[in-house]
Structure 1
Amino acid sequence: MVPDSPSLRSRLQTRFWERHANPWSAGSRFLTMPALLYAVYTRDGRLLLATLGFAVVNPVAFPPPERTNSWLSRVVLAEREWLGEGRGTMGLDYPNVLNLLNVPATLLALWAAWRQRPVATVGVCLVAMTLKVWWVDAIARRTAAGRTGVWRDES
């Protein structure tokens, strides 16, 4: 009898999360929002496309980490576990309300950048990024992966 092998989708998802758990991947994603807002502020279409391309490629651009005990690795692993349990990312419950609040903050930051209001752009960008960091830290505190940094293979 041939043992059940994981589906292609399952293998790709596992590979995605393994590579995204690299602290360089998770950490460099924090540059995405400021770069996006700067591109909008300066009306730089090439920077906008480069930033969007970076956001798409970033989670798989780095190799899987040797260790996952850094905070950045733990929050990525916690996000994987959180989503795998069907908890979603937005809602009125804590901590998902933080991501819900992040939507208007991000839209306001984009509007401020478009209107070329530097103080508002930076201020609201900081609010949005704080909400995102708060959310990932909160889910890390609520999941085994976030507390231990141990990679759990689903195969």
Structure 2
Amino acid sequence: MAWEARLARAFRLDDAGWVRHANPWSGWTRMAVLPLLALAGWSRAWIGWWALLPLVLLLGFLWLNPRLFPPPCRLDAWISRSVLGERLWVNRDHVPVPARHRRLPHWLAALSGLGGICLAYGVAMLEPWPSLLGLVVAYMGKLWFLDRMVWLHQDMDGEGR
């Protein structure tokens, strides 16, 4: 089982959960959490242990997010199609994805992960430049990954590109 499938299971993303997560409000509000997590980490310099409160609230929001929003009325928004493509990617052990979509998502996830490591270092050391660089690289990798998921969804849904 792919690690993404384990993560989807941890977030309890069943069929209904994936459709609700395809709501643009769900996708875009999740995208807004990373800089808020970084800010929560930085806030320890100002508010000490109280910084754990926004950290826990943000992590709770990430877990709850796919269940907060209703299914979208339409599924043609870019972020909605990226979520539907991500669902196909997560299920690739059961339904193979086209060959041209098999490598780059791994590289993009790694790029995003490297950005996350840089961001974590910057937050841990309270260094602004590694924090900003990590944030930019993490978002670059994630947004490119999501764009590939839109393409994957179009290819597997028969829309072509």
2:19 is aligned to: 18
> Is 1:143 the equivalent of 2:149?
no
More helix by share: 2
Q: Secondary structure at the match of 1:26?
A: helix
Is the 1:22–1:62 Cα contact (8 Å) retained in structure 2? yes
- Which residue identity lines up with residue 79 of structure 1 in the other structure? E
The count of aligned residue pairs is: 135
Aligned pair partner of 2:80 in 73, 82, 93? 73
Tell me if the contact between 1:108 and 1:124 (Cα under 8 Å) persists in the aligned partners. Answer: yes
**Cα offset, 1:100, TM superposition:** 1.5
How far did residue 96 of structure 1 move?
1.6
Amino acid across the alignment from 1:19: R
Q: Check the 8 A contact 1:140/1:147 in 2, yes or no.
A: no
- Cα deviation digits, residues 93-151 of structure 1 (max 9, x gap): 21221102222220110110111112321221011011001011112212336785xxx
2:82 and 2:153 in contact (8 A); partners too: no
In structure 1, the residue matched to 2:130 is 120
Number of the residue aligned with 2:65? 58
Partners of 2:157 and 2:57 in 1: CA distance = 31
Gaps of 5+ in 1: 1-8, 149-155
Whichever residue aligns with residue 13 of structure 1, its letter is: D
Structure 1 ranges of 4+ moved more than 2 A:
85-88, 142-148
Indicate whether 1:84 and 2:91 are aligned: yes
- Is residue 48 of structure 1 aligned with residue 55 of structure 2? yes
Q: How far apart, in 2, do the equivalents of 1:119 and 1:53 lie?
A: 28
CA contact (8 A) 1:21 1:65 kept: yes
Equivalent residue letter for 2:40: A
Distance in 2 of aligned mates of 1:93 and 1:81 = 15
Give, as a single letter, the amino acid of the residue that structure 1 aligns with 2:130. Answer: A
The amino acid that maps onto 1:31 is: A
